[in-house]
Amino acid sequence: MRTALVQMTSTDQPPENLAAALRFIEAAVALGAQIVLTPEVTNCVSLSRRHQNTVLTVEDDDQTLAGLRDAAVRHGIWILIGSLALKSQDPDARFANRSFLIGPDGKIIARYDKIHMFDVVLSDTESYRESDGFRPGDTAVVADTPIGRFGMTVCYDLRFPALHRSLAQAGAHVLTVPSAFAVPTGKAHWEVLLRARAIETGCFVLAPAQTGRHVGSDGRFRETWGHSLAIDPWGRVIADAGTETGITMVDLDLTEVAKTRGRMPSLRHDREFLAP
Ligand SMILES: O=C(O)CNC(=O)[C@H](CS)NC(=O)CCC(=O)C(=O)O
């Protein structure tokens, strides 16, 4: 399957980001893409809850979702929207960080709310409290496409192998890890964690990412690591987008999933054990 990873530098202006995503999708379709994947928070990267409150909407009113569903129909392709920041029903008025799988008829095949929140102090100058702004999900999601079963995750979920194992044991062939990874942890951990998840599960891992400097309308900025990656089930990096924005094409042969699991059947070798 011809697959395209979109790497972008989303701003805090959703219409701008939709236009950028649509341009990338068109370029990918021209190169034969049958499925296009976009990064985490495709619609808005912002450090300001107040700003997010003014530009974000509930799912039913979201123009990025509507625009990408139209694009799926227009081009007859599958789209994995890495995630959208959306207003939600949360009692604390937090947003949802929600990933969508869209079919070629524009239907929402699956939605997944990011489960693990990035509440981490990286240094004196860089820290995140995602759970202040976002309500975590509590349900893992797999979804079927004609080419295989997808297991959906988002960014920081990458650090929780049990989620990926559970998706693989639920029959996933492809794990999606759309991200907006921080730079220091990207440098140290991104590739090795993605390769580990692929090796442990015998899944393809597709990780479209935000990249570069995201400058907000208040002048504050945040930087992301880029390096959208595709990994095969043996753990080989089969595409690396570097740090520029753009699309990265990769052909997936899903028969490799069964072949690889035949060579290395560890996914079937879990044992019950007593906790230490
Ligand atoms: O806040 C938003 O706009 C959208 N959400 C994100 O960018 C999230 C939470 S701040 N980023 C991550 O999970 C990075 C994880 C990471 O970098 C690591 O695990 O090392």
At 157, list the tokens.
Answer: 């979920």
Report the DSSP pairing between strands 229-231 and 237-240. antiparallel
The yes or no reply on domain 2-266 and CATH 3.60.110.10 is: yes
Q: Note the pLDDT tens digit of each residue in 32-64.
A: 999 999 999 999 999 999 999 999 999 999 999
Pocket test for ligand 1, best of 155, 215, 223 (most atoms within 8 A of CB): 155
Any ligand 1 atom below 6 A from CB of 190:
no
Query: pLDDT exceeding 90 applies to what percent of the chain?
Result: 99
Pocket test for ligand 1, best of 13, 128, 154 (most atoms within 8 A of CB): 128
Per-residue CA distances from 10 to 16, 41, 118, 120 (Å): 8, 8, 19, 22
Rounded distance between C-alpha atoms, residue 222 and residue 107, angstroms:
33
Which region holds residue 235: left if phi is over 0, alpha if psi is between -120 and 50, else beta? left
Helix, strand, coil share (%) of the chain residues, nearest 5: 30, 30, 35
Distance (angstroms) between ligand 1 centre and the Cα of 106 equals 28
Q: What is the ipTM of this complex?
A: 0.93
Average pLDDT, integer, range 14-42: 98
Q: What is the DSSP string of 83-99?
A: EEEEE---TT-PEEEEE
User: By alpha-carbon position, which residue is closest to atom 3 of ligand 1?
Assistant: 45
Per-residue CA distances from 119 to 113, 122, 130, 238 (Å): 16, 10, 6, 31
Per-residue CA distances from 273 to 119, 270, 276 (Å): 31, 9, 9
Residue in the structure block whose two tokens are 């999606």 = 176
Q: Note the pLDDT tens digit of each residue in 231-241.
A: 999 999 999 99
What pLDDT does residue 56 have?
A: 98
Domain boundaries, given as residue ranges, for the chain: 2-266
Any ligand 1 atom below 6 A from CB of 159:
yes
Q: Note the pLDDT tens digit of each residue in 130-179.
A: 999 999 999 999 999 988 999 999 999 999 999 999 999 999 999 999 99
The answer to whether the pTM exceeds 0.90 is yes
Any ligand 1 atom below 6 A from CB of 128:
yes
Rounded distance between C-alpha atoms, residue 113 and residue 139, angstroms:
8
Residue in the structure block whose two tokens are 């009692």 = 91
Rounded distance between C-alpha atoms, residue 194 and residue 206, angstroms:
9
